[in-house]
Structure 1
């Protein structure tokens, strides 16, 4: 982790002093109030930066939407959320992808067991390296399961051309496709990569998902 052996972050209550950063922020807010009080309009972040830079020795930088988007792309998509996030007051990490957290901060040791710390590992079920265009997948659409093939991948989302349902684990390929029928799915909506559906014995037009896979996910969405 960039040469660091341990990383810790402590969340403090709202309106409580947080040290030097909080003091600098408060001073800049007061300065902005004075600038506005003397008749200067500050309609956006760029104007705020320009006016503060004229009256303060603090080095300021504007964070643009492009900067935020670029940082967002560095975060792996579809990471699971940490349970009880709103109650967490301390996070400690000693290795990538693994954190310890607790509701009460402790500073005696990063590996101590004070206040019952919990562990969380960030994992992903699948990735863009695994799901390719043409891959058969089983997707969840409003609580119903459909097999289909991935037709496009963009911005962490997957366009899937699904089969139509004819009954429990019975699907068919529509003879006519209308514009807009293909749906974009997030990775969390893709339950599993599956083999191509098999023809059923009762009808050459109908297909079914491998029974073991269908039974596993059908129970979860009911």
Structure 2
């Protein structure tokens, strides 16, 4: 499973694991011990029996085996620039979507309209999900690509935007779109400051195109939530 952050310095579970591992290694060295190679670090961490973190050593031979299993050319994943999560539960098959979700992990959930693909097939690379999965999705008169063509190219699922509601600005993330409207999951602004956080309950509303102010960067992590860049904070205050 892979999860991607739009901003390179965005923090996630891998950053927390990496920080914990680095801290343990640093404390070990400060105690007068040596870790001279990656294998030394691995053996040290395995002996520590760290809770909730599993370590695996991958040899060069293992990497070569997987390299040999790859075909000479692998077809691209449609819409890869807007993809934030890739999951695989069987050999030769992947699921991908614009937004990440873990509500049923390690099982596959149906949130945010995931697509299925078999990279080893030369035809029908992007397969539709089963009718059971599709039935759980909100009705949408247009497919993702058709809707995106009818709207401005910059408005795509997963993008953060500023919207206008009741003459007030709101920050949110696009979760669904069709020919005339865009569904946005809005954040809550804290005390009128440049601090935003997700509400306990999703606040998804359909907005018309004239209520969309602009596309913005993904809000940056903040102690109390998230924060807009100074370039996005200016248009937010001009609404």
State TM-score, norm by structure 1. 0.37
Report the TM-score when normalising by structure 2: 0.35
Q: Which has the larger radius of gyration?
A: 1
